[in-house]
Amino acid sequence: MTSTIIKNGTIVTADLTYKADIRIEDGVIAEIGPNLKGGTELDATGCYVMPGGIDPHTHLEMPFMGTYSADDFDSGTRAALAGGTTMVVDFALPNPGQSMLDALTMWDNKTSRAACDYSFHMAITWWGEQVFNEMETIVRDKGINTFKHFMAYKGALMVDDDEMFSSFQRCAELGALPLVHAENGDVVAQMQAKLMAEGNDGPEAHAYSRPPEVEGEATNRAIMIADMAGCPVYIVHTSCEQSHEAIRRARQKGMRVYGEPLIQHLTLDDSEYFNKDWDHAARRVMSPPFRSKAHQDSLWAGLASGSLQCVATDHCAFTTAQKRTGIGDFRKIPNGTGGLEDRLPMLWTFGVSTGRLTMNEFVAVTSTNIAKILNIYPKKGAILVGADADLVVWDPKRGKTITAGAQQSAIDYNVFEGKEVMGLPRFTLTRGQVAVEEGAIKSQEGHGRFVSRPPLTAPAKALSTWKELTAPRKVERTGIPASGV
């Protein structure tokens, strides 16, 4: 058996910071302690050794808006590893009327070149008896405990309240967690049509058509529907105070609601859409759009105070040529931006280095919290004996200027172009295998494995116990007057 030892580093987890070495055997952490010896040694002097990042929100090779997102499981997972992320969770999207099991097979077929571990969320894109039945198979047999619901993209992926309430109730029965893209798709569609009719056809109109109110209303609605269905709910790409406020309020009332800001929304603002260069603005079109600095402050505060739990990327990268489909009609610009390679360095630079986050909070919001939410902790998101050796040896003195020319992503630009980041992986290890060393990519195509996620029994049981205790009950009465008297 070959061992790898990470020596002389400082271990940083979501709750502890301490000096120790780590021995890895057969892809898992075998020992943690001082002065470990033997095997291949990786020098972590001056570095922090942290659980590898988990990105809970990616769209690799996703069919969307008449095209496919440009990064697949090869370039996407390479980009992830280059930036210290060791697991991605992608979305399987059935076409309306399509079996979820067929969709899952289609998505499984995309993953043969994955260089890091991955899992799937399943999307609810239509509703019927077949969906109701297959949800059980997806949870019990396929290792997927999350179902995504789009309240936006009218006429495509969008589901209505009726469908969402039915699905959420099924999630409650199965111990599954609904995820929600919360934007009011009906309002967006009308605002888009109005803007176009007024001649507002550029990328800035994308932002005008999706104001924070559209997101706040939908977030609040999703949370209330989840509460009535008796299930927790996870709001993806929380971008604004209106949405954050709804999440915060619900959590204060004891509801199990989670919020996920993106690194893009934390660090880029809506001035990007007013750039005179059409390509520049269109490359940044995503939903929800970038917001003002006041909204960014709200998101940072939510991460520090614990009302928001995870930082993701929603990595859904389109080339400039793909974006140009929307010249003359902003509604046709494929929605999505990249970020997989940049999430950790950007969050470290603009979060930890500025004092907005502690190192432990950084680990929590990039890895541990989502591992717990998705029920894969401590296999992932932990530095404990027996955990997968998905690790990043983080060099706080290693820096770079982000540029598309040096990235792993297949697209021809980077929305963070020119940003100076300080803090990069010295090593990234995926199940003990070195995939990145001092900037050199050594990842292995096909190394990635599917990570099965069992039902969320603990929160589901707590919620169903409470719901049962507080359920409507008929009042038994004696001496009821005869009717009509």
Ligand X SMILES: NC(=O)NCCC(=O)O
Q: Give min distance, CB of 89 to ligand X, in A.
A: 12
Q: How far is the CB of 335 from ligand X (least distance, A)?
A: 3
The site string for Zn ion over 289-318 (x = CB under 5 A, - otherwise) reads -------------------------x----
Q: Is 264 in the site for ligand X (CB under 6 A)?
A: no
- Per-residue string for binding with ligand X, 58-97, x by CB under 6 A? -x--------------------------------------
Return phi, psi of residue 196, to 5°: -60, -45
- Smallest distance, Zn ion to C-beta of residue 259, A: 14
CB of 61 to ligand X, least distance (A): 13
Residue 198, CA distances (Å) to 18, 25, 154, 195, 205 in order: 60, 64, 21, 5, 11
CB of 287 to ligand X, least distance (A): 4
Burial of 31 from C-beta contacts in 10 A (0-12 / 13-18 / 19+): middle
Task: Give the residue nearest to ligand X (CB).
Answer: 335
Reduced to 3 states (helix: H, G, I; strand: E, B; else coil), residue 109 is coil
Comparison of 322 and 335: residue with beta carbon closer to ligand X? 335
Among 85, 184, 287, 313, contact with ligand X (rule: CB under 6 A): 287
Q: How many residues line the site for Zn ion (CB under 5 A)?
A: 2
Neighbours of 63 (CB within 10 A): 12
The β-bridge partners of 137 are none
Side by side, the strands of the sheet bearing 117-123 are 53-58, 85-92, 117-123, 146-150, 177-181, 233-235, 257-259
Give the residue with the Cβ less far from ligand X, 177 or 286: 286
SS3 label, residue 214: helix
Residue 239 contact partner, candidates Zn ion, ligand X, none, CB within 5 to 8 A by sort of partner: none
Say which entry of ligand X, Zn ion, none residue 303 contacts (CB below 5 to 8 A, set by partner kind).
none
Which CB sits closer to ligand X, 319 or 464? Answer: 319
String marking each residue 29-68 x if it binds Zn ion according to CB under 5 A: ----------------------------------------
Range 177-206, binding ligand X (CB under 6 A): 181
Rule CB under 5 A: say whether 265 interacts with Zn ion: no
Cis peptide before 378 (omega within 30 of 0): yes
Stretch that binds Zn ion, among 175-183, 394-402, 427-435, 477-485 (CB under 5 A): 175-183
> Does 316 interact with ligand X (rule: CB under 6 A)?
yes
What is 275-330 written as a DSSP string? -S-HHHHHHT--SSPPB-HHHHHHHHHHHHHTSS---B--B----HHHHGGGTT-G
260 forms part of the interface with Zn ion (CB under 5 A): no
Q: Which CB sits closer to Zn ion, 5 or 235?
A: 235
> Alpha-carbon Rg of the chain, whole angstroms?
23
Least distance CB 258 / Zn ion (angstroms)? 15
Q: What angle do CA 103, 369, 357 make, to 5 degrees?
A: 130
Given the complex with ligand X, which of 23 and 59 has the nearer CB atom? 59
> Rounded to whole angstroms, how far apart are CA atoms 278 and 294?
25
CB of 117 to ligand X, least distance (A): 21
With CA atoms as reference, report the closest residue to 270 among 246, 296, 297, 245: 296
Q: How far is the CB of 209 from ligand X (least distance, A)?
A: 13
Single-letter amino acid code for the residue at 438: E
Residue 335 binding ligand X, by CB under 6 A: yes
> Site for ligand X (CB under 6 A): which residue of 336, 338, 345, 432?
336
Q: Which does 167 bind (CB under 5 to 8 A by kind): Zn ion, ligand X, none?
A: none
Q: Which is nearer to ligand X, 167 or 239 (CB)?
A: 239
Distance CA 430, CA 449 (A): 10
Which two structure tokens, joined as six digits, stand for 276?
């005179």
Q: Does 409 bind ligand X (CB under 6 A)?
A: no
Task: Give me 353's structure tokens.
Answer: 């280095």
What residues numbered 313-352 form the site for Zn ion, per CB under 5 A?
314
CA distances in angstroms from 403 to 52, 89, 412, 475, listed in the order given? 23, 25, 10, 67
For residues 149 and 379, which CB has a smaller minimum distance to Zn ion in the complex?
149
Q: How far apart are CA 395 and CA 6, in angstroms?
A: 13
- For residue 241, give every residue at least 6 positions away whose Cβ sits within 8 Å of its Cβ, in sequence order, or none: 212, 216, 294, 295, 298
Cβ–Cβ < 8 Å for 86, 429: yes
> Under the criterion CB under 5 A, does residue 181 sit at the interface with Zn ion?
yes
Q: Which residues bind Zn ion (CB under 5 A)?
A: 181, 314
Q: Which residues bind ligand X (CB under 6 A)?
A: 59, 181, 286-287, 314, 316, 335-336
